[in-house]
A and B are shown apart, each in its own frame.
Chain A
Amino acid sequence: RKEVEQDPGPFNVPEGATVAFNCTYSNSASQSFFWYRQDCRKEPKLLMSVYSSGNEDGRFTAQLNRASQYISLLIRDSKLSDSATYLCVVNNRAAYKYIFGTGTRLKVLA
């Protein structure tokens, strides 16, 4: 089983739709969680950190469920510019590693 798992997609949604991605992790010792966005042939860029209490940044909401060991990303009112691959990243400080999911590809259609 992979340490971090994501549905690769693609998720094809119309503009204005709400879309949610989940990411599961296997190491219960994981301590920090992030969502990154990667555009084609570019480096990943930090979208948001994920906090235990959940956090929101504009149209984006991230949540963490430690009991079930998953994090989620909700995108409301999807824009064409949201089309990208969304990477889930989990950090285990004890091992000092950042583990990446394979990414979920989102296509927002006009």
Chain B
Amino acid sequence: GAVVSQHPSRVICKSGTSVKIECRSLDFQATTMFWYRQFPKQSLMLMATSNEGSKATYEQGVEKDKFLINHASLTLSTLTVTSAHPEDSSFYICSARDIRSSGNTIYFGEGSWLTVV
């Protein structure tokens, strides 16, 4: 299957600071990437859909000014959590759509554990 790399895998930051998480498709081009958040024992919640070269589409209730998404190339999307607060602590996962596969399979990065203290 396709490989998606996410970095950093774990980050601890102080309240009020910003954190950037990178999502890279390593062996394919991804015109569309997705960002999810998952709280303990809950399902993945789609935050936004990132399209290369255009503005991200945010889900209802997700603040676009707080969660900045940039999809500058066909292999890289970044999520920046601005002015992080403890309630932003969560598991953030990206996925990328492999358009080469029939059925539009998506593959996930390893996820990033964010802890805001």
Residues of A bordering B, CB below 8 Å: 32, 34, 41-46, 49, 87, 89, 91, 93, 96-103
Contact = CB atoms under 8 A, between A and B. Distances in A.
Q: Is the interface of B mostly helix, strand, loop or mixed?
A: strand
B55 to A, nearest CB: 14
B37 to A, nearest CB: 12
A102 B93 contact: no
Given A100-B43, A101-B43, A102-B42, A49 B105 contact: yes
Interface in B45-103: 46, 49, 91, 93, 95, 103
Size class of the B contact interface (CB-based, 8 Å): 20 to 34
B93 A43 contact: yes
B95 to A, nearest CB: 8
Contact of B107 (A32, A41, A46, A96): A46
Contacts of B93: 43-44
